[in-house]
Structure 1
Amino acid sequence: MDMERIKQIGTAAAFNGGKILKDHFGRLHAVHKKGAIDLVTEADIRSEAAIIETLSRAFPEHAILAEESGRRDGNGGCWIIDPLDGTTNFAHNLPQFCVSIAFAVDDDIQAGFVLAPLLGEFFVAVKGSGAELNGSPISVSTTATLADSLLVTGFPYDHATIFTPLMDRFGRCLKATQGVRRLGSAALDLCYVACGRFDGFWEQHLKPWDTAAGFLIASEAGARTSVFSGAPYAIDRDEILSTNGAIHDELIKLLEQ
């Protein structure tokens, strides 16, 4: 596999999708609901189309798994696409949103691309080669204890179904740390762990396109990632915990209480 070619095309696809998001930001004509609080806009649809067109032109044989259009079978690899992670932020004119694209072979993530177009930040990682932000290497924080850490989390769209355990975990983490943030984009949350802005991130009920790229970027930056019990994480798992490693075991104890 020519990973330099994968990196080149993945980067082009991310920026093509990001351009559409920038063009639509603050200019939405309609916002639709996939669920009670799960939104989709014309920007999601057009960004995804541009990303798929870019990838398919270069790699017509590859499979596609995309949030809005679903799965297209193929061989030789699979592109996992979230054309707009943080749609609710986008719809409310908040700039914390991104394009997230990952490339996998046999369910093993090989490359990840996360572009926050309005923030001017592009995170990229190729497996075994480290992670970068705007071309410079990044690494997780060196915070040694949970008491000194800043965490980030997210709430799933079906939060009403798990409201009590969700709030219990949130409360325990809030009491034990310097603070907990909720930004509204799991892909960016993982990237912010990767570059040391946050010391840890946890969330439930995410989809592969939410985490695939960010998971690799965080891993290549030195993060430890698991499910809440500490068992290995994979993108089809229902929960994720990613930290700088030093606070991981402490945080597991809080999440598993």
Structure 2
Amino acid sequence: MCSTDKMSEIAILEVIKKNFADHLILGEEGGIAGDTSSDYLWCVDPLDGTTNFAHCYPSFAVSVGVLFQGNPAAATVVEFVGGPMCWNTRTYTATAGGGAFCNGQKIHPSKTDKVEQSLLVTGFGCEHDDAWNTNFELFKEFTSISRGVRRLGGAAVDMCHVALGVTEGYWEYRLKPWDIAAAVLIIEEAGGVVTRMDGGKLCVFDKSVLVSNGAIHAKLLERIAPATEKLKSKGIDFSLWYKPENYVTDL
């Protein structure tokens, strides 16, 4: 574990607690803090892409999303780009109904409507289990039919790249609320589409996500959803990963 994760989360939580003392917080490092009866839940990933950060590989971010009764309400993802001797940032922001922005400019996904012309992204967790093996097969399959599949190592960054229009789709199993809470809103407000990998409506407490520009979503699901259903038939559960006890949602 990188000590920067902890220091980053401490700094973020100090600001949230100072300004929103009655809100609930779910941090990757510190877990649950605050009032579980609050309608508001902050999901904090203080360093998305820790391994990349440790190696100065330019694909990591700080991600903060706010839920109101379980639904994304506001979000920001600060992506660190460039690399040694040329570091810079891209700051993505969104509010429910207010659009999505990068460095203050409104953003939209690409309009590419063919998987064959798309650049895709996925991710692999630490558990080398059936889900990992299934995703590896999907990785090979999409590599053969698309312009390529990347594995960059930061879920929030990967999702924001779809919103920015530089990639067309992203999918991954085994994600946590702090991985996706901010980026889900950014994608949706940019005009993209987000579902579970079985095609169902996504809740940020679910454990799989498929993100796209919208134009290729159904085509991605044609291949991804059946593979996910096979995993579910083996007893692998991709429903709610975790929801804070007593936290009220309208989901």
Structure 2-normalised TM-score? 0.84
Q: Secondary structure at the match of 1:141?
A: coil
Looking at structure 1, the residues matched to 47 and 151 of structure 2 have their Cα atoms a distance apart, in angstroms, of: 17
**Higher relative contact order (CA closer than 8 Å, sequence separation 6+):** 2
The letter for the 1-side match of 2:174 is: H
State which of 118, 134, 147 in structure 1 corresponds to 2:103. Answer: 134
Q: Secondary structure at the match of 2:88?
A: coil
The runs of 5 or more residues in structure 2 that have no matched partner are 81-86, 228-251
- Is the 1:95–1:119 Cα contact (8 Å) retained in structure 2? no
Shift of 1:76: 4.1
Shift of 1:106: 0.9
Shift of 1:180: 0.5
Looking at structure 2, the residues matched to 107 and 62 of structure 1 have their Cα atoms a distance apart, in angstroms, of: 13
The runs of 5 or more residues in structure 1 that have no matched partner are 1-39
Looking at structure 2, the residues matched to 246 and 140 of structure 1 have their Cα atoms a distance apart, in angstroms, of: 10
The letter for the 2-side match of 1:235 is: V
Partner residue in 1 for 2:173: 204
Looking at structure 1, the residues matched to 136 and 209 of structure 2 have their Cα atoms a distance apart, in angstroms, of: 16
Shift of 1:160: 4.0
Looking at structure 2, the residues matched to 247 and 136 of structure 1 have their Cα atoms a distance apart, in angstroms, of: 25
Looking at structure 1, the residues matched to 90 and 155 of structure 2 have their Cα atoms a distance apart, in angstroms, of: 15
User: Which runs of structure 2 are paired with 1:1-257 in the superposition (5 Å)?
Assistant: 40-74=1-35, 75-117=38-80, 118-255=87-224, 256-257=226-227
Looking at structure 1, the residues matched to 223 and 74 of structure 2 have their Cα atoms a distance apart, in angstroms, of: 31
CA RMSD of aligned residues (A): 1.2
Deviation per CA, 1:73-118: give whole Å up to 9, x if none: 3224111100000001011121211000001111111011000244
My pick for the range that moved more, 164-173 or 103-112, is 164-173
Q: How many residues align?
A: 218
**Greater helix proportion:** 1
Give the share of equivalent positions with the same residue, in percent: 39
The letter for the 1-side match of 2:56 is: N
Structure 1-normalised TM-score? 0.82
- Is the 1:81–1:209 Cα contact (8 Å) retained in structure 2? yes
